[in-house]
Amino acid sequence: MNDDDFDIEAVAQAARARGYDHMDVLRAQQEAAKAPPPPPTVIPEPEFPYPPQHALGGVVRFRCPFGCPWYHDENPGAEAPGRFMLPADFTQEDVTSAISLEAEARRNALLVRVERAITVHLAVDHPDR
């Protein structure tokens, strides 16, 4: 295929036919840029200290924000997924929603654990900061 064979209007029409509107995407990006920043957190950027093929490859490490040698490790992939309920006449959307809600709950629990560990560390080892 060369540039002469490429019909941008045909591609645009096909995208619109599938419900995709690039102006919606642009508007959403502009709105996201105007959104306020997320609330501050004590959680630093995570590190991934082990390569994926290592036995501890799923470990995520959070270091002390003040640079001391302390760190907190989490292995979110080691947790068994939680249980969820589906209606008797469930649909694919019900399954997708249940999985998403369960994943969000696990994510929130991980954030609470990490924030609690860092907060305790700061209170114990860096009380003057």
More confident residue, 115 or 16: 115
Which residue is it, tokens 């470990």? 59
Is it the case that residue 32 has pLDDT exceeding 90?
A: no
Is it the case that residue 93 has pLDDT exceeding 90?
A: no
Q: Which two tokens stand for residue 15?
A: 């995208």
Which pLDDT does position 116 carry in this prediction?
94
18: left (phi over 0), alpha (psi -120 to 50) or beta: alpha
Query: Mean pLDDT across the stretch 48-70?
Result: 93
Please tell me whether the overall predicted TM-score, pTM, comes out greater than 0.75 for this model.
Answer: no
Percent residues over pLDDT 90 in the chain: 35
Question: What value does the mean pLDDT of the chain take?
Answer: 83
Strand residue runs (E) in the chain? 60-63, 71-74
pLDDT in tens, 95-125: 888 888 888 888 888 999 999 999 999 999 9
Cα Rg of the chain (Å, integer): 23
Give the residue extent of every domain in the chain.
Answer: 3-34, 60-125
Among 58, 98, 89, which residue's Cα sits nearest to residue 75? 58
Q: Which amino acid is at 17?
A: A
pLDDT in tens, 65-90: 999 999 999 998 777 777 878 888 88
Which pLDDT does position 38 carry in this prediction?
67
Window from 16-25, 43-52, 71-80 with minimum mean pLDDT = 16-25
Query: Mean pLDDT across the stretch 39-49?
Result: 87
